[in-house]
Amino acid sequence: MIVGQRDLAELLLTALLADGHVLLEGVPGVAKTLTAKLLARTLSVPFSRLQFTPDLMPSDVLGTSVFRPQKGEFEFRPGPIFASVVLIDEINRAPAKTQSALFEVMEERQITQDGVRYAMPTPFVVLATQNPIEQEGTYRLPEAQLDRFLFKLSVGYPTMEEEVAILQGHHAGFGGTPLEAVQPVVSADDLRQLREQVSRQHVEPKLLEYIARLVGQTRAHKGLYLGASPRASLALLNGSKALAALRGRDFITPEDIQYLAPVVLRHRIQLTPEREMEGGTPDDVVKQILQQIEVPR
């Protein structure tokens, strides 16, 4: 049983409707993996799980070519990445060589093996978990890979009331979550139709300019060493359209953009060393930028 985490659930569904990948960060034991598995169980699509480790090779993710003596030729054997929902547990425990295997597949929904392209199934979503960077035995993810995640969601500790509810449920015998009891409610075709509806959301021109101003300000901010790319603008637009649809509207508002700005930008910007020494965080800078840019009405 998942207690609390309502915002997390809403943002995961938003990313699913926006056709984006999600990075979940938090200390061990806060139900990151369980939440991702439960989301996957609600979809009637192929699912696979990868546990990233320091000795994992790219072929363990993408697949490899196997020689068939009977045919006298090599045959490609797809790896676990060939699924509609791919859960990568502790993604930051694999080195850069393995991380690079995800660059093409996360952006282009295909891989190239021995000069042959293999397309991913539709839909294709990567849900990755990671422990905070300061945890022992982890690697920093490359910026190019981080940029491919639509959202980076921070999973924090439960409140006192929520933790009491967790203990009460466990004591009463409801501590486990039998995944088999969760039945799929959305098919691949259903999700495709929902995404088409999301893409038709109405967006005022002034809101497009608002998104561009917010993202553009990250490139001029004195506290940032690296600003966000145009991919962040697209992520903010698509995410806002999906969030508005999830909340029952056929148009987006400035509040949708402001709500999603931290989860879209926090992993795409880098603080200057001086700002880091002062104890600043990416979320602090995003909040400051939101206060500086005039909100369209």
Q: What is the pLDDT of residues 224-249, one digit of tens each?
A: 999 999 999 999 999 999 999 999 99
For residues 116, 120, 125 and 128, what is the CA-based torsion angle, rounded to 10 degrees? -40
CB burial readout 233-265, b (16+ within 10 A) else e:
bbbbbbbbbbbbbbeeeeebbbebbbbbbbbbb
pLDDT digits (tens, 9 = 90+) for 64-117: 888 888 877 888 899 999 999 999 999 999 988 899 889 999 999 999 888 889
Burial of 124 (0-12, 13-18, 19+ CB in 10 A): buried
Phi, psi of 39 (to 5 degrees): -60, -45
Structure tokens, 246:
């999830």
As a whole number of angstroms, the distance between CA 253 and CA 86 comes to 31
Structure tokens, 47:
């699912």
pLDDT digits (tens, 9 = 90+) for 1-23: 566 667 888 999 999 999 999 99
Higher pLDDT, 33 or 284: 284
pTM of the predicted structure, to 2 decimals: 0.90
